[in-house]
Structure 1
Amino acid sequence: MRRVSRIAVAGVATAALAVSVSACGSSSTSSSSAGGSAKSKGIGLAYDIGGKGDQSFNDAAYAGFQKAEKDFGVGGRDVEPQDGETDADKVQRLETLAKAGYNPVIGVGFVYAPAVKEVAAKFPKVTFGIIDDNTIKAKNVADLVFHEEESSYLAGVAAAKTTKKNHIGFIGGVDIPLIHKFEAGFIQGAQSVNPKIKVEKQYLTQTPQEGGFASPDKGESATNGQIDAGADVIYHAAGLSGQGVIKAAAAHKVWAIGVDSDQYSQGALSKYKDYILTSALKNVSGAVYDLAQSVIKDKKPLSGEVRGSLSNGGVSLADSNPVFKNNADLQAALKKAEEGIKNGTIKVKTS
């Protein structure tokens, strides 16, 4: 196994939805396939809360999954989460994929950490990946993580350079350390432009189980409140709930900043695109693709922490909106900020 600290860029566009299969039923701790097989029949992908179709985090993973299937000539199985599921359900889902011969098997989201840790120990010949968690220390596990605070800093610069009221907003899906990184970077970036800028802040729920990443209605309501308070640029890190943020921003003709995928370019959000300034990208698609390549093509599975940053292309800002791309003053400010982050003169906070 090789341990790495960089993540390669794989430029992947989110594709159309496909039918997924649920891995339900009783689990077993003994099987003729116990330990798994190093030979892969394809990629196993288990989605995070909100599932496929969120136009954000999960769909970015699906894009990498699809590209890997095509490029490496293998099959794959992607599995949706279930409402109210437990860690035991996640364990069973991952075991089902591993027993069926899928390699790598990837859990999309930190909620899979306990399940990946347990199942990886049972299937040492299978490579597992987990996105947004770096707590699992095992030779057959790749912790696919990102410097979300860096792209969020740039999003803050963009917001501060775009607002007409010196009043912006942040909406996080769930009040957890991972999403605190988005908030911290965003506020720091905005304050680098205007130290006195006013920032509205709100988390939709305290736990993932309450629907903070999967409730567009909660996102819409929170956004309406921030707009009523005076914010005219709102950044979300809320998964599927972010669709409600973007909908509300468009209804009030103010700017939204998307997350994870380039939400300006998402077909399902096309009617709101004129109000999506940019998106803070996290190359989840590249992380899925690179792990699949290391197992299926290179035969040298990645393991350990694999972290995406501005320096290696793992995080960035989307420039699909011409209003954003053609704003020379904004682009100059972003270039200066990005250079500072890369050379270490700007230290981005994570909390």
Structure 2
Amino acid sequence: MRRLAKYSVAVATCGLVLSACGTAADDDEDTSAAEEVTCEPTQIEGDPRVALAYDVGGRGDQSFNDSAYAGLDQAVQEFGVEFAEGEASDNEDEAAREERLRGFAEDGFNTIIGVGFAYSESVNAVAPDYPDVAFAIIDGFDPDEDVNCNVAYLGFAENEGSFLVGAAAALQSETGQLGFVGGVNNALIQKFEAGFVAGAEAADPDVTVESTYIEQSDPKGFGDPAGGKAAADGLYASGADIVFHAAGGSGSGVFDAAVEAGQKAIGVDSDQFLTAGDAQKPTIITSMLKRVDTATYGFISSVVEGEPASSYTVFTLADDGVGYSTSGGFLTPETIAALEDYKAQIIAGDITVPEAP
């Protein structure tokens, strides 16, 4: 069984900043508000049947969704699980997401994964009606104080991985000016910005970083390559020679802007050098790796093993949940050595990476 802390204030105020959400016991000031809830592992009937509900952009975004599919594909190859896929559309409402999830559950899929924080409310509404289904949400959060024992919230220390690529950018910049493009201006994407800026400034205190967001709240910011290109065009025009994006499928537009400007860019989530077009590849000096594949595969594995994960899990540098890529050979040996030193200091606790700009 698992003992989970039930909160009212902690979960409600943490919003999307998952790694700041610990348990009430992590707060030395006040643990009196925590109420323990005992959860038995979700009992899955029959073989695991997995449904993957993608975020906007779906499979083929060469980023966040594709990374989730890679974890699913690994599970399919190893365990032979049956699976189905569904994709979110631009501007869809909660009812559409709930219908997608309920459809999977009604069709007998007993392992359902929502890819992206946008599924948090819909999973919260649907999960209580299907206690024998194991749910997980990538970047998810519990929006109320009622503990869902059959839901796993899989988060990442994006700020830590972003710190490393920020340091890489500063060390290899020729102008001392960098840029950041976020898909949507929310607390989750701000973690990428905060880490990137902190890493850049650690490597070069004189560096300047200009940040911009494609959308303030609309999730379509993650599926708008034209918007990504326009945002990056402005940063390159202002003097940035390296731009880091945390914008999902919109990142392809950032790479196109880098090609036109003759400058460099940094990918996100997966090693985007490996999936970019031939013209884009020379621009991508590294990518901030967010191992959505590891989280997805790990959750499915827990179901296969009969102990479905639940509650919060945060993947960090210490367990290779985040990191950076070296494909293409663009990072110099000196830069890589510096990044490995920063990585060791973060893991040791000697460097604390901020989560907000």
Q: TM-score range by the shorter chain?
A: 0.7 to 0.9
Give 1:252's match in structure 2, choosing from 247, 254, 261: 261
Other-structure match for 2:39: none
Q: Deviations over 1:197-221 (max 9, x none)?
A: 1111101111124x21110001101
Find 1:164's aligned residue among 174, 195, 203: 174
TM-score (norm 1): 0.87
Query: 1:297-316 residue pairs with structure 2 within 5 A?
Result: 298-316=305-323
Secondary structure of the structure 2 residue equivalent to 1:222: helix
1:184 to 182, 194, 198: 194
Which residue does the alignment assign to 1:288?
296
The 2-side partners of 1:187 and 1:307 are apart by 22
Note the C-alpha offset of 1:3. 7.5
The AA in structure 1 aligned to 2:57 is G
Q: In structure 1, give the amino acid aligned to 2:248.
A: G
The answer to whether the 8 Å contact 1:3/1:302 transfers is: no
Superposition pairs of residues 53-132 of structure 1, within 5 angstroms: 53-132=60-139
1:307–1:270 CA distance, 2 compared to 1 (3 A): farther
**What amino acid does structure 2 have at the position aligned with 1:103?**
N
Equivalent position amino acid for 1:165 in 2: T
Q: SS in structure 2 opposite 1:168?
A: strand
Aligned to 1:8: none
Superposed CA RMSD in Å reads 1.6
Q: Which of residues 215, 224, 228 in structure 1 aligns to 2:224?
A: 215
Contact 1:63 1:285 in 2 (8 A): yes
> How much has 1:39 moved relative to structure 2?
2.5
Q: Go from structure 1 to structure 2 and tell me whether the alpha carbon gap of 1:66 and 1:225 turns closer, same or farther (over 3 Å shift).
A: same
Matched, 1:138 2:145: no
Q: Which has the higher contact order (CA 8 A, sep 6+)?
A: 1
| Partners of 1:45 and 1:347 in 2: CA distance | 34
Q: Which amino acid aligns with 2:278?
A: S
Note the residue ranges of structure 2 that are not aligned, 5 or more in a row: 5-41
Instruction: Give 2:159's aligned amino acid.
Output: E
Counterparts of 2:325 and 2:301, CA distance in 1: 25
Report how far residue 187 of structure 1 moved.
0.2
Tell me which amino acid in the other structure corresponds to 2:256: K
Q: Are 1:223 and 1:234, in contact at CA under 8 Å, matched by a contact in 2? A: yes
The 3 A distance-change label for structure 1 pair 106 and 275 is same
1:242 aligns with one of 241, 251, 273: 251
Q: Identical aligned pairs, as a percentage?
A: 42
CA distance in 1, matches of 2:181, 2:89: 25
What is the CA–CA distance in structure 1 between the aligned matches of 2:176 and 2:186, rounded to whole Å?
27
Task: State whether residues 3 and 304 of structure 1, in contact with CA within 8 Å, keep that contact through their aligned partners in structure 2.
Answer: no
Q: Write the distance in 1 (CA, Å) between the matches of 2:44 and 2:197.
A: 47
Shift of 1:49: 1.3
Q: Please give the per-residue CA displacement for 1:261-312, whole angstroms capped at 9, x wherever unaligned.
A: 100011x53331111000001110111111111112x111111111100001
**Contact 1:249–1:275 (CA under 8 A) maintained in structure 2:** yes
Query: Does structure 1 residue 277 correspond to structure 2 residue 285?
Result: yes
Q: Shift in Å at residue 47 of structure 1? A: 0.5
CA distance in 1: counterparts of 2:83 and 2:186, whole angstroms: 31
Deviation at 1:328?
1.6
In the alignment, structure 1 residue 343 sits paired with structure 2 residue 319: no
Query: Take 2:98 and 2:295, find their aligned partners in 1: how far apart are those partners?
Result: 22
Alignment partner of 1:52 out of 53, 59, 62: 59
> Counterparts of 1:271 and 1:104 in 2: how far apart (Å)?
39
Letter in 1 for 2:344: E
The total of aligned residue pairs comes to 316
In structure 2, relative to structure 1, the CA distance for the partners of 1:121 and 1:276 (3 Å cut) is same
Partner Cα separation in structure 1 for residue 338 and residue 48 of structure 2: 47
Q: What secondary structure is seen at the aligned counterpart in 1 of 2:293? A: helix
Give how far 1:74 is off: 1.6
Mapped partners of 2:319, 2:297: distance in 1:
15
Partners of 1:42 and 1:337 lie apart in 2 by: 41
- Offset of 1:257 from its aligned partner? 0.3
Superposed displacement of residue 53, structure 1? 1.0
- The 3-state SS of whatever aligns with 1:259 is strand
